[in-house]
Chain A
Amino acid sequence: MRQELVLLAVILLLVILEIFMSNKKALVNMAIAFFTIHTLIGFIPLEDGSLFGGMFHTTQLIHLFKNVLNVGVLIILLQSAEWIKKEIVAQHKSTEFFMLMLSSLLGMYYMISSGDFLMFYLGLELSALPIAALVAFETSKRVSAEAGIKFILSAALASGTSVFGVSLIYATTGSIYFSEVAELLTYSNLSLVGFIFFFSGLAFKISLVPFHFWTADVYEGAPIGITSYLSVISKGSAVMILMIIIFTVMTPFELVTGKLLYIVSIATMFIGNLFALRQQNMKRFLAFSSIAQAGFILLGLLSHDQLGISTVVYFVSIYVFTNLAAFGVIQAISTQTGKENMDDYNGLYRTNPKLSLVMMLALFSLAGIPPVAGFFGKFFLFTAAASQGLYFLVFLAVVNVTISLYYYLLVIRAMFLRRSDNPIPYFESKFTMKLGLILAVVGVLFIGVYSPIYDYIYQLSIF
């Protein structure tokens, strides 16, 4: 509970300071400083335990995962600081930005720590609603408002579907506590329908095919900081809770889950990758790439053991840093020049070599090219799937890795190979942006090669 309380304290502190402080730009820095302190406190070890009669529980793995989310949000805040100061402070709503984002993070904490379906639902809603406001934050832009509406509709539909599924499961078992449901749940048509509905709700969050339609539009319309938040933090925590529930609660459906995940992962990988091929807008491009990545994550979920859990958590952690490095570069360029298209990146290396290199590392990591972290993450996910004898699925996945390499190379081609008459001029980013990018790059470079990280995650990967 400590993580939650400290985060709540940060939020409340911001509310109070908002009232008394007139210098809003300083408040932005203070908010980041507070959140940094919160992140650091998170690294102090915490005992396992449960509260409220089992409604809330935490294990070492969940604690670790919250720390990963913290670092991710910290990077996002650092990367967004410049944009907030430039665009949002003038509209007198910079503090709202922080409060909404941190409330949503709080919701994710509750969601992944939940011990019953009520807490799960509460966390789900708390994490989704503030994001809807944030997606529509740039009220002056029509796409942003449109994205906000799209997001809130699909989020509402998703959580509604989920809750409907939960109600069916409640009807068959008479309990909403995970531990009791796990004991009482048996395989029946009704409970199966409940499970499928529940799964669909979360599939919206993770943007698995066929529940992915909102992704590209929302990613494109939302401010970049929010897009990166959606693509890593929101997706990561949804994967985590899906994994917990599938592995601990929905055990009677193991066979069904296997087939379901098998098909959904193939569809998600292919659709995500094939649609990404022709995208021009960098945010849309990364939206489809993130759909495809979600397909890869499902490969790890197919292995119902410590190996599967550890590879998924490991991959998601790597994915957080990788995607944030990519989005960071997009944000840096967009804040300075307002350009977001792939053609605008032509000749970027010759004017902004450092940003191009960061982007290249991030894309290599997404494509799974050594020695950056993404290679290890993907390799281990494939190992987990292969350990179940699913060689054909692994084969399809590696076919997809090759497809994805093509469009990642398109960006590298634009930055390194092409020349442009009108390249993005050289610019110096603000300190916060640099720090955010450096943090992300350090993660991309070291999480893979430094093997104790994986071994540590593996030890903790027990529910």
Chain B
Amino acid sequence: MDILSLFVIVPVITILVLIFSKNLKQTRVIAAVGMFVQFAMSLNLIFAYFKEKQVNDSIMVFTKDFLWFEKFNIHYTIGVDGISVAMITLASIVVLAGVFISWKMEDLHKEFFISLIVLATGVFGFFISLDLFTMFLFYEIAVIPMFLLIGIWGSGPKEYSAMKLTLMLMGASAVLLVGILGIYFNSNADGGALTYNILEIAKVNIPVDAQNLFFPLTFLGFAVLGALFPFHTWSPDGHASAPTAVSMLHAGVLMKLGGYGVFRVAMYLLPEGAMTWSNFFIVLSVIGVFYGALAAIKQTDLKYINAYSSVSHLGMVLFALLMLNKTAWNGAILQSLSHGFMTALFFALIGMIYGRTHTRDVTKMSGLLKVIPFISVMYVIAGLASLGLPGFSGFMAEMQIFVGAFQHPDMFHRVATIITVSAIVVTAVYVLRVVGMMLMGPIRNNEYMELEKATWYEKVGVILLLLPIVFMGMTPIWLSDMIRESISPFLERMM
């Protein structure tokens, strides 16, 4: 059994076992064991990757290829580079933490964990795929369980949010399908066979007209998932209505599919289209960054604050990707990872706070630091990481993004960069405002004196997410090595 396919097979086996589970205790243990295996495999994958890289110099390692549909040249092709390894690790950690955070899921628990793991299967499959068809297939598998997860176990206007989210994301994937077909039918431009294989297509010079036509479709198809302004509206509603673990998984992992897809498919395969369209999409992403941050200031619901902050942070990822140079790309990927851990941690903590105070309105809470110190301290740390304090992951990422962006000497890029940098200040405002209002000050509500301290499973989930944030901030060398090597083929394509 090859090392990568296991990332899809283990969740599927977990699901099959889950079907036979009798009660909540069994269900959560099975889910935790399955996802722990996944987590262990992803750690193993990092070491295996470095080992393999010393002997194998190709772009993708651990590649495997099985023919699927002969007529269309559809293969099940898998392989990873440093970026995918990092993303897989992110996903496995967030999913495992998500299982722990949902430890007390009462209603239809079996279905909940099954849907959660179906989503995870789609995510892992997406990150290991090198074939556009399978990639697309996994992408849709990852999106559709969200409807049930938000609709059944969510809160507030959950039916509305679930429908909006699903339709917008599936609509985006439909646009993406046209883009993929366009790439497919131009993949024989140099006289070869039609193919969906990303590495094969990357060797082909697709005609510039086709690139200019299909780049925006492919880009939009993925970027909607990455909350590109003005297609971000599903994200705040979806996050606010979703149950905790789903918000974590969604903001932490699923939205990363967007950035990853933009990079791996749209930019890698259609570089000239990317150059033509980059200024247009830079404008949208800059608006997203700034608007997201401003909107977060005005919100009082914790989840909305975080959702808009996600729009802002992921806008920055797209912004960095569109800078089309090495430093910014490095930063974009670090930012993706950092935001993944950070926002998952945020949502986990919000879930815990909500579970205790039964409100998500910051104006109604105060002095929580005194009664639930663990959760509060973690919230402060996540907040500091979010505003890019040195020593945490966010700093590394944003630093590189802005250095990269400033390498463009022209006026347009300068202005765009300056606006984006100033959004960081706004970020500091909304993060510190929440910390000040919610955690500091006197306890005004006497019921809060009785709040339950964090339980063991909550601590496990939180610490799982905190460690990578600190690790990325302190010793980014490993990660940078992994990413830098993997970026060079993208750069060659751009030349």
Contacts and interface: CB of A to CB of B under 8 A. Distances in A.
A379 interface: yes
A425 interface: no
B177 A369 contact: no
A327 interface: no
A147 B182 CA distance: 45
A324 B72 CA distance: 28
Majority DSSP secondary structure for residues of B touching A: helix
What does DSSP make chain A's interface, helix, strand, loop or mixed?
Answer: helix
Interface string B161-190: 011001100110011011001101100000
Contact of B182 (A375, A386, A454): A386
Contacts of B163: 406, 409, 413
Interface string A382-400: 1100110101001100110
**Most chain B CB inside 10 Å of its own CB: which residue of A364, A406, A409, A413:** A409
Interface string B142-168: 001001100110000011001100110
B177 to A, nearest CB: 6
Contact of B181 (A307, A371, A382, A399): A382
Contact of A409 (B69, B147, B177): B147
B174 A369 contact: no
A417 interface: yes
B450 interface: no
Nearest to B154: A417
B181 A386 contact: yes
A455 B159 contact: no
Interface string B296-327: 00000000000000000000000000000000
Contact of B137 (A370, A391, A451): A370
B159 A391 contact: no
B361 interface: no
A405 interface: yes
Interface string A266-303: 00000000000000000000000000000000000000
Contacts of A391: 178, 181-182, 213
B102 to A, nearest CB: 18
Contact of A402 (B71, B171, B182): B171
Contact of A455 (B70, B148, B177): B70
Interface string A355-382: 0000000001000011100010001101
A413 B69 contact: no
B70 to A, nearest CB: 5
A412 interface: yes
Nearest to A385: B181
B94 to A, nearest CB: 23
Contacts of A398: 174-175, 177-178
A383 B181 contact: yes
A458 interface: yes
Contact of A454 (B69, B170, B171, B174): B69
A382 B176 CA distance: 13
Contacts of A307: 71
Contacts of B184: 383, 386
Contacts of B167: 402, 405-406, 409
Contacts of A395: 175, 178
A383 B151 contact: no
B185 A386 contact: yes
Interface residues of B, number: 33
Contact of B178 (A364, A394, A402, A409): A394
A382 B144 contact: no
A386 B210 CA distance: 13
Interface residues of A, number: 32
A126 to B, nearest CB: 35
A403 B141 CA distance: 18
B68 interface: yes
B71 A455 contact: yes
B181 A394 contact: yes
Given A391-B178, A398-B177, A416 B151 contact: yes
Contacts of B177: 379, 382, 394, 398
A459 to B, nearest CB: 9
A316 interface: no
A412 B147 CA distance: 9
A401 B138 CA distance: 18
A409 B163 CA distance: 8
A280 to B, nearest CB: 17
Contacts of A402: 167, 170-171, 174
B174 A401 contact: yes
A382 B163 CA distance: 25
A373 B175 CA distance: 20
Contacts of B147: 409, 412
Contacts of A417: 148, 151-152, 158-159, 162
Contacts of A375: 137, 140
Nearest to B134: A370
Interface string A251-263: 0000000000000
Interface string A404-418: 011001001100110
Contacts of A387: 185
A242 to B, nearest CB: 23
B100 to A, nearest CB: 25
A387 B186 CA distance: 10
Nearest to B213: A391
Contacts of A389: 185
Interface in B115-148: 133, 137-138, 140-141, 144, 147-148
14 contacts: A310-B71, A369-B170, A379-B133, A382-B177, A386-B185, A391-B182, A406-B163, A409-B163, A409-B167, A412-B147, A417-B159, A417-B162, A451-B70, A458-B71
Interface of B: 68-72, 74, 133, 137-138, 140-141, 144, 147-148, 151-152, 158-159, 162-163, 166-167, 170-171, 174-175, 177-178, 181-182, 184-185, 213
| Nearest 7 pairs of A and B residues by beta carbon | A398-B174, A417-B151, A402-B171, A386-B181, A370-B137, A451-B69, A458-B71
Given A370-B141, A382-B181, 19 more contacts: A310-B71, A370-B140, A371-B137, A379-B133, A383-B181, A386-B185, A391-B181, A391-B213, A398-B174, A399-B174, A401-B170, A401-B174, A405-B167, A413-B151, A413-B163, A417-B152, A417-B162, A454-B69, A454-B71
